[in-house]
């Protein structure tokens, strides 16, 4: 519903307190419930937008807003400029809504809470803290650096995961093409002769016939696999299974563990440095890490800290009977928890874990680069072995035919 302009001054010069009181009640309702009254928020007509908002676009929005506020531009003018520069229709609509809500006393974080699908809890929490403390430009500057680092790291991780899958998929497509189009035409002539078909060639011919006669069934199996994978990623129980599997896949488990650990470190550091209390910071961080297993462990840590246990002890660091430290956490590295323990003593948890996070990020990037370099020759050998096996299967009958011809 479009916002209708309210005239608080009547034609006779009297002030209409009823309309003004309704506006105040609407503002209190929006702040208290986090919901927009339909008659309260003014929106300009918007074109229908299809699709979402990419993380890079969110970063661009935060980056522009941070730059304008740091330059001394007031909040309303900054949003007016950003509104003109944003290209994504959905993000443009949200920016416009923030701009209009500011005129009615709603904060930026109040509006962002309406769009948690696009803005993660870290962004909303930090913006809210920045508004309350009056340090919004500083908070946004730190946030946009963190978001950019996170985007780049996730891009490298996604590449490390997708690259081998694409190469192996292309290799399998090529093998299927050779089995279903090339092999039958070449070996068809041998079935009409008395030449004995070698075992390898016969196996390839049988495999080719199976694919040709059951391609619909095979297509349904492949489609079913991706449908099940999609459903598992969509529902909580499936997410638990995928999270469990991802932390146990050889080689790749290290990437997933480090990714979640780095997100935990960076988010917790930003929240603590911005003045967020420990319990709230842990709860927000639990909503940011993607792996369900990590989420559950962070919530457990938060509950133990709330019960009065030190953060380092809740993360698995304890003193044994012989006064030696004992570490029992399977999710977070031991050196990280030791740095947390030192930070608790000195009051510099954020600064201490930041150093660990920087080291982990460098290590993960090196690991991904080395993994990509190691996978390339392995995949080349794998593809060569597949194609070579098919070529050998095609050539073996020719050798048999040559022997028959020689005996004649």
pLDDT tens readout for residues 224-256: 999 998 888 888 888 888 888 888 888 888 989
Q: SS3 helix, strand, coil % of the chain, rounded to 5? A: 75, 0, 25
pLDDT at 377: 85
Cα–Cα distances in angstroms (integers) from residue 270 to residues 138, 298, 299, 330, in the given order: 11, 16, 18, 24
Cα–Cα distances in angstroms (integers) from residue 92 to residues 42, 116, 132, 391, in the given order: 15, 16, 25, 57
pLDDT at 5: 45
- The closest alpha carbon to 179, from 394, 395, 363, belongs to 394
**pLDDT tens digits along 158-207:** 888 788 888 888 888 888 888 888 878 777 766 666 667 778 888 888 88
Average pLDDT, the chain: 82
pLDDT at 380: 84
Q: Is 13 exposed, middle or buried (0-12, 13-18, 19+ CB in 10 A)?
A: exposed
| DSSP symbols for 219-274 | HHHHHHHHHHHHHHHHSHHHHHHHHHHHTTSTTHHHHHHHHHHHHHHHHHHHHHHT
Cα–Cα distances in angstroms (integers) from residue 315 to residues 31, 170, 294, 359, in the given order: 35, 44, 12, 20
| pLDDT higher than threshold 80 for residue 8 | no
Q: DSSP assignment, residue 2?
A: P
**pLDDT tens digits along 351-364:** 899 889 999 999 99
Percent of the chain with pLDDT over 90: 20
Q: Which residue has the tokens 């977070």?
A: 332
Tokens of 314: 């809740």
* Contact call for residues 287 and 314 (beta carbons, < 8 A): no
**pLDDT tens digits along 252-272:** 889 899 999 999 999 999 899
pLDDT at 182: 81
| pLDDT higher than threshold 90 for residue 294 | yes
Give, for 366, the enclosing helix (H) or strand (E).
Answer: helix 349-407
* Contact call for residues 141 and 126 (beta carbons, < 8 A): no
* Contact call for residues 73 and 81 (beta carbons, < 8 A): yes
**pLDDT tens digits along 366-392:** 998 888 888 888 888 888 888 888 888
- The closest alpha carbon to 94, from 133, 56, 57, belongs to 57
Give, for 319, the enclosing helix (H) or strand (E).
Answer: strand 317-319
Tally of CB atoms within 10 A around 24? 11
| pLDDT higher than threshold 70 for residue 12 | no
* Contact call for residues 46 and 89 (beta carbons, < 8 A): yes
Which residues, 6+ apart, have CB-to-CB distance to 298 below 8 Å? 264, 282, 285, 286, 289
* Contact call for residues 126 and 107 (beta carbons, < 8 A): no
| pLDDT higher than threshold 50 for residue 43 | no
């Amino acid at each position: 519903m479009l916002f209708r302009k309210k005239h608080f001054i009547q034609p006779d010069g009297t002030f209409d307190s009823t309309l003004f009181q309704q506006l105040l009640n609407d503002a209190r309702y929006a702040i208290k419930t986090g919901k927009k009254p339909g008659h309260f928020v003014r929106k300009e007509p918007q074109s229908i937008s299809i699709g979402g908002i990419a993380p890079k676009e969110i970063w661009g929005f935060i980056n522009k807003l941070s730059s304008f506020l740091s330059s001394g531009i007031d909040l309303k003018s900054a949003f007016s400029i950003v509104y003109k520069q944003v290209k994504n229709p959905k993000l443009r609509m949200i920016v416009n809504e923030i701009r209009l809500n500011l005129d009615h006393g709603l904060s930026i974080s109040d509006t962002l809470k309406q769009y948690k699908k696009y803005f993660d809890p870290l962004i909303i929490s930090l913006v809210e803290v920045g508004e309350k403390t009056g340090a919004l430009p500083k908070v946004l500057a730190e946030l946009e650096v963190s978001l950019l680092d996170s985007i780049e790291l996730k891009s490298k991780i996604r590449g490390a995961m997708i690259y081998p899958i694409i190469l192996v998929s292309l290799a399998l497509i090529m093998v299927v093409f050779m089995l279903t189009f090339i092999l039958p035409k070449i070996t068809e002539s041998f079935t009409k002769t008395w030449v004995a078909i070698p075992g390898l060639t016969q196996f390839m011919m049988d495999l080719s016939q199976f694919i040709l006669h059951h391609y619909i069934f095979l297509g349904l199996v492949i489609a079913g696999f991706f449908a099940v994978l999609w459903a598992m990623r969509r529902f909580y129980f499936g997410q638990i299974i995928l999270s469990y599997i991802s932390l146990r896949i050889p080689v790749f488990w290290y990437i997933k563990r480090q990714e979640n650990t780095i997100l935990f470190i960076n988010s917790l550091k930003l929240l603590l440095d911005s003045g967020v209390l420990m319990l709230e910071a842990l709860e927000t961080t639990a909503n940011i890490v993607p792996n369900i297993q990590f989420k559950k462990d962070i919530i457990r840590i938060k509950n133990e800290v709330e019960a009065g246990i030190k953060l380092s002890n809740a993360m698995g660091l304890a003193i044994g009977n012989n006064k030696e430290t004992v570490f029992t956490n399977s999710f977070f590295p031991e050196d990280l928890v030791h740095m947390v323990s030192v930070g608790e003593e000195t009051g510099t948890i954020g600064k201490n874990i930041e150093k660990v996070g920087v080291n982990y990020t460098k290590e993960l990037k090196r690991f991904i680069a080395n993994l990509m370099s190691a996978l390339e020759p392995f995949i080349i050998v794998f593809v060569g072995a597949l194609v070579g096996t098919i070529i050998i299967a095609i050539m073996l009958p020719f050798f048999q035919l040559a022997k028959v011809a020689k005996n004649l």
